[in-house]
Amino acid sequence: MFEFLKHITPRIKILSLSLILILLPGAIISYLSLKSIQEKADNQRVKYHGTANLVRDKLESELYQIETNFRNTIIDSLLKLESVADHQLLLQRINMEYPSIKNLTLLGNKGELITGFASSGLNKPPGSKSNLSSEMSSIISRAEKEEFINKNYPGAIGIYRKALSVATSLQEKAILHARIGRSYFKLQSYDKGILEYGKILEYGEESLSIGNIPATVVALYQKAEGYKELNESQDRKKILMELYQRLLYHPWDLQGGEYLFYLNSTIGAIREIEPSSTISSSEVAQMEQLKNLDEKIVTQSELILFLEDRIIEEVISGLNHLASSEIKHRTFTEQLIPTIELGYFLLPTTTQQPLFRALVFQFDEGYLLTQLFPQVLSTVELGKDIVPGILNENDSLLYFHNNHQVSGYLVAENFSQYFSRWKVALFERSGKSIEQLTGRERHLYLGLFIGILAVMLLGIVILARVMIHESEVSRMKSEFVSNVTHELKTPLALIRMFGETLDSGIVNEEKKRKEFYSIIRKESERLTHLINNVLDFSKIDTGKKDYNFEEADLVSTIRQSLEAYRFHIRDSGFEFDYKMPEEPVMASIDKDAISQAFLNLLSNAVKYSEERKYIYVEVRKESQSVIVSVKDHGAGIAKEELKKIFDKFYRVPNPMKKQPRGSGLGLTLTKHIVEAHKGKIEVESEPGKGSRFTIRLPLL
């Protein structure tokens, strides 16, 4: 397969060497540049990661600072407090002081929870019935019988009133007023009922309760219901607003859901009337404020319920393992709830503060993103093209410094202690990634590298083709030498043999002697023809061939050549015909060259006809040109070979059973000679049927 490599000439060696010398360094340089760009990008990435880490640490240390200060403030302040109401106020105050922290929740020893606005398990109003005297209880039982069993409401009212006259405490009175009001409502005397509930409010005592519910709440709620029945929407609304405020500013225990029930039904009722009545702007502002508070209470209540459900146990059971001042963090990520992140720490148990064991809190994400982080980040020097931002777990942007808007970040680092689902990301000002930053250079060198490789490949392909060609030529040359040697040997041997025979004098017959002389002459002519071919070829090949053009008769030139060859043709067993004009056809020709060209065609016709031995030669004059054609009925030439047979040294591979001898030069020479005469050579051939070679020369 690599046969051709054996024939590498010095020219090719120099060519390949220079190809390698020029291209290899180029390839190496561009490859190294590519690598160094990659390294540069990697270094850059490491650098950006480092910076992102620094930014993250800075933010986290700020959070740590806030958290620590906050914890110390809480512990200090709690130690100074006594009543539960004060605790709630304290939480509200500290919440104001630390805007980055929200939902402060105290966790009591028995699992009670208290936030600034809502509580659970604390603030329970005293049970109402237990405070009644036995006498009062029996009177009330009688009244209840009238009210619920006999449905005798006026009777029931009478008994309740009697009880009222003997009632000793405000608590008892409040309960009785509520009963009377209820009975009036059942009688549909709403005016009277409203009056009765109004009396409870007149006491102005917050600690009174009916059932487990503050008496004022019950009274206001029922009054609003009464006004609803009376269709007095202005009065109803006034009462509802009062109730709403009462509920928001004095939330009570959340257990059992009564508080939330009152809160929700009140806001529901307000909404129900709102669209139908006109509202003043001050009312709007007040309503806005109340709604904010409402929202706070609702979220804090929800948080309390969540804490009761999910974390109290963990905190209480883990309390013993917690170092007193350590702050622990906990993240809840569940499908149905938005991720909740909490921090909590132990409170010191002292006599001043025996109620609470721990405090749970949350960072206010909104505040951090809009206030704290921008403030911290504006103190960080990152270089003018780098902008920091915060991403969430889905890589969506939560905050972008200076509201810069680009997509695609350079690097991102996860928060480690706080907000583990958040990342600090660094952005290039125009939103490019590291790859894009180094992209242009990379593309340039990659292009260069690929280009050089392509040129090298092309060079290799061309070189290989040249090598194959050269090796083919050199193979043909050596074949040519052996062919020519052989061609020379045969006639020489014949000449010698017949010469020696004649010389020895053993041939006496004149006829025989003549025949021998003629053989010697013809063989020497063939020899001359062959040597002429070789010599002419070498002249043509080196560009030194001169033609001796003269005005001459083409017909007689062809005729003489034919005569010289006639014997050989007939001797080889050929039938032979020709047709030529009688008169001379004059053209500017080199007679020897034309004769040689013609003889080449003739000798080919003889050589390549094995079975049907017939040759026809024609010279014909046309209007502008003269035609010399040689036709045989021999082997013929395949279509795809027709173009190549005129190439130097080319021989059609094995067209016959026995490859006749030849040099592969005959047609090359013929073509050259014809073209030197400004003529053309054509061939028509069909394998198995024969060929016709036609020389067309211009007339004078």
Q: By C-beta, is 45 or 612 nearer to ligand ADP?
A: 612
Q: By C-beta, is 559 or 692 nearer to ligand ADP?
A: 692
Q: Are 219 and 242 in contact (CB under 8 A)?
A: no
Task: For residue 301, give Cα distances in angstroms to 101, 107, 608.
Answer: 17, 14, 113
Q: For residue 298, what is the DSSP state?
A: H
Cα distance from N-terminal residue to C-terminal residue, the chain: 53
Burial of 31 (0-12, 13-18, 19+ CB in 10 A): middle
Query: Does 487 help bind ligand ADP (rule: CB under 6 A)?
Result: no
Stretch that binds ligand ADP, among 110-118, 313-321, 580-588, 657-665 (CB under 6 A): 657-665
Stretch that binds ligand ADP, among 20-28, 93-101, 542-550, 663-671 (CB under 6 A): 663-671
Q: How far is the CB of 455 from ligand ADP (least distance, A)?
A: 38
* DSSP-derived pairing of the beta strands 586-589 and 550-553: antiparallel
Kindly tell me which residue out of 88, 119, 301, 663 binds ligand ADP, with binding defined by CB under 6 A. 663
Q: How far is the CB of 605 from ligand ADP (least distance, A)?
A: 5
Site string for ligand ADP, 670-699 (x = CB under 6 A): ---------------------x--------
Q: How far is the CB of 598 from ligand ADP (least distance, A)?
A: 13
Q: By C-beta, is 343 or 634 nearer to ligand ADP?
A: 634
Query: Does 614 help bind ligand ADP (rule: CB under 6 A)?
Result: no
Count of residues touching ligand ADP (by CB under 6 A): 22
Query: Does 637 help bind ligand ADP (rule: CB under 6 A)?
Result: yes
Site string for ligand ADP, 570-609 (x = CB under 6 A): ------------------------------x---xx-xx-
Task: For residue 66, give Cα distances in angstroms to 26, 93, 341, 468.
Answer: 60, 16, 16, 82
Site for ligand ADP in 365-404 (CB under 6 A): none
Q: How far is the CB of 608 from ligand ADP (least distance, A)?
A: 3
Site string for ligand ADP, 411-450 (x = CB under 6 A): ----------------------------------------
Q: If we measure between CA atoms, which residue out of 127, 126, 116, 125 comes closest to residue 85?
A: 116
Query: Does 635 help bind ligand ADP (rule: CB under 6 A)?
Result: yes
Alpha-carbon span 364 to 67, nearest angstrom = 12
Query: Does 667 help bind ligand ADP (rule: CB under 6 A)?
Result: yes
Q: By C-beta, is 145 or 612 nearer to ligand ADP?
A: 612
Strand partners, 400: 389
Q: How far is the CB of 472 from ligand ADP (least distance, A)?
A: 15
Query: Does 632 help bind ligand ADP (rule: CB under 6 A)?
Result: yes
Cα 311–315–316 angle (5° rounding)? 115
Kindly tell me which residue out of 634, 679, 681, 695 binds ligand ADP, with binding defined by CB under 6 A. 634
Kindly tell me which residue out of 358, 645, 674, 681 binds ligand ADP, with binding defined by CB under 6 A. 645
Query: Does 196 help bind ligand ADP (rule: CB under 6 A)?
Result: no
Task: For residue 207, give Cα distances in angstroms to 204, 262, 325, 437.
Answer: 9, 17, 37, 71
Kindly tell me which residue out of 652, 680, 696, 699 binds ligand ADP, with binding defined by CB under 6 A. 652
Alpha-carbon span 71 to 92, nearest angstrom = 15
Burial of 234 (0-12, 13-18, 19+ CB in 10 A): exposed
Site string for ligand ADP, 10-29 (x = CB under 6 A): --------------------
Instruction: Give, to the nearest 10 degrees, the angle between helix 510-542 and helix 591-607.
Output: 110
Q: How far is the CB of 662 from ligand ADP (least distance, A)?
A: 2
How is 139-178 classified by DSSP, letter by letter? HHHHHHIIIIIS--HHHHHHHHHHHHHH--SHHHHHHHHH
Query: Does 502 help bind ligand ADP (rule: CB under 6 A)?
Result: no
Q: By C-beta, is 209 or 609 nearer to ligand ADP?
A: 609
Query: Does 629 help bind ligand ADP (rule: CB under 6 A)?
Result: no
Q: Are 344 and 359 in contact (CB under 8 A)?
A: yes
Task: For residue 257, give Cα distances in angstroms to 162, 276, 661.
Answer: 34, 30, 119
Q: How far is the CB of 479 from ligand ADP (least distance, A)?
A: 10
Stretch that binds ligand ADP, among 153-161, 520-528, 589-597, 632-640 (CB under 6 A): 632-640
Query: Does 116 help bind ligand ADP (rule: CB under 6 A)?
Result: no
* DSSP-derived pairing of the beta strands 209-210 and 411-414: unpaired
Alpha-carbon span 139 to 136, nearest angstrom = 5
- Number of Cβ within 10 Å of residue 685's Cβ equals 20
Query: Does 662 help bind ligand ADP (rule: CB under 6 A)?
Result: yes
How far, in whole angstroms, is CA 388 from its chain's centroid? 24
Q: How far is the CB of 5 from ligand ADP (least distance, A)?
A: 27
Q: Are 260 and 254 in contact (CB under 8 A)?
A: yes
Residue 301's contacts (CB-CB under 8 Å, 6 or more residues apart) are 118, 254, 259, 260
How is 307-341 classified by DSSP, letter by letter? HHHHTHHHHHHHGGGS-TT-EEEEEE--SSS--EE
> Helix, strand, coil: what percent of the chain each, to 5?
60, 15, 25
Q: How far is the CB of 29 from ligand ADP (least distance, A)?
A: 51
Q: How far is the CB of 456 from ligand ADP (least distance, A)?
A: 38
Q: By C-beta, is 376 or 683 nearer to ligand ADP?
A: 683
Where do contacts with ligand ADP occur on this chain (CB under 6 A)?
A: 600, 604-605, 607-608, 632, 634-637, 645, 651-652, 655, 662-668, 691
